[in-house]
Homo-oligomer: A and B are copies of this chain.
Amino acid sequence: MKKILNKPADFVPEMLDGLCKAYPNQLTYAEDIHCIVRADSPVKNKVALATGGGSGHLPVFLGYVGKGMLDGCAVGDVFQSPSAEQMLSVTKRIHGGKGVVYIYGNYGGDVMNFDMAAEMADMEDIKVKTVLVKDDVASAPPAEAGRRRGVAGMVFAFKVAGAKADLGGSLDEVVAVTEKALANTRTMGVALSPCTVPMAGKPTFTIGEDEMEIGMGIHGEPGMKREKLQTADQIAERMTTAILDDLKPSAGDELAVMVNGLGATPPEELYVIYRKVNQILTDKKLRVHRAYVGEFATSMEMAGASLTFMKLDAELKTLVDYPANTPFFKQV
């Protein structure tokens, strides 16, 4: 384990303390450092947006707390769900009088805890609605899309929901447009190397020096298959085809495209992937409205990349283009 750490058990609270100290005008915490909220919470008369999940995925989840995106985030230990109490604490702190939307990835522990938090919030007269992110095409076939995992596509959900809430949308309107965004969003990834969870001290999985895993999840969950490492163009084509087969856009459609690095893969390699993705889309008469290339949803120091497409209509384009300013995501 080659990490820059103190005691593994202190990793998450120390990381959060560093984060709040780095951006004192943007972030603070509610009750406990594991409940990160906007420093200006609650924003009155705005639908508040909360997410939550395990640590180890920065910028997901808490990196998107800020103006034009999320209001708060319940933070678990590395790859662990935060508790219902944490999510309730976030919810109470961010509620600005127009209700709260929970937007998070479809993982069992998170769903159980956040549903419980929503019930507890309801008892305190805070209306909560939930939108689950299930964008990973590799995790289940189309007929079983309801059990797909949430991965990098959740960033587009945060972006769209955050813009709609900032523009004054009602609770139902924010939920509706976020669900529309997610119905149009698909992701697929490949992993080249594992990561090490500090408390475990050993790699999450093993993989040969000449192998890659197609469709691996962001905690190292198995994907569709393991095979020989391919070229960047082949990997780009594999991911693009898998998504397009599932999303079925029409010629002339406009997309938001995200090429996301899982942690250790250099940005240079992500641009080599983007080049081929852009070429394939152009050949198919699909237009890139906006491209995002970088690290948006990671797995510690895992090597690999994911690709996300969101098919846009006029409303989604406006919301994607809307400004945002969080510690990890700025759009001007």
Enumerate chain A interface residues (CB-CB to B < 8 A). 2-6, 11-12, 14-19, 21-23, 55-56, 58-59, 63, 192-193, 209, 229, 231-233, 235, 263-276, 278, 291, 293-295, 298, 300-301, 303-305, 323, 325, 328, 330-332
Among B55, B209, B268, the residue within 8 A (CB) of A11 is: B268
Among B58, B265, B331, B332, the residue within 8 A (CB) of A268 is: B58
**Set of chain B residues within 8 Å of A293, measured between Cβ atoms:** 18-19, 22
Secondary structure dominating the interface of A:
mixed
Q: Is the CB of B264 within 8 A of A301?
A: yes
With the chains together, A11 CA to B233 CA distance in Å?
12
Which of A233, A271, A295, A330 counts the most B-chain CB atoms under 10 A from its CB? A271
10 closest A-B pairs by beta carbon, nearest first, are A18-B275, A18-B271, A330-B330, A264-B264, A22-B291, A18-B274, A4-B269, A58-B267, A15-B271, A15-B268
- Within the complex, the shortest CB–CB distance from A240 to chain B, in Å, comes to 14
Q: Can you list 15 A-B contacts (CB < 8 A)?
A: A3-B269, A4-B235, A4-B304, A11-B268, A11-B272, A12-B268, A14-B232, A14-B275, A15-B275, A16-B271, A22-B293, A55-B268, A264-B303, A266-B301, A330-B331
15 further interface pairs, Cβ-Cβ under 8 Å (given A59-B267, A63-B267): A2-B229, A4-B232, A5-B231, A18-B275, A18-B278, A19-B274, A22-B271, A22-B274, A22-B291, A58-B267, A267-B295, A267-B328, A268-B300, A294-B328, A332-B332
Which of A14, A63, A291, A332 counts the most B-chain CB atoms under 10 A from its CB? A14
Q: Is the CB of A278 within 8 A of B15?
A: no
**Set of chain B residues within 8 Å of A272, measured between Cβ atoms:** 4-6, 11, 14-15, 18
- Within the complex, the shortest CB–CB distance from A205 to chain B, in Å, comes to 14
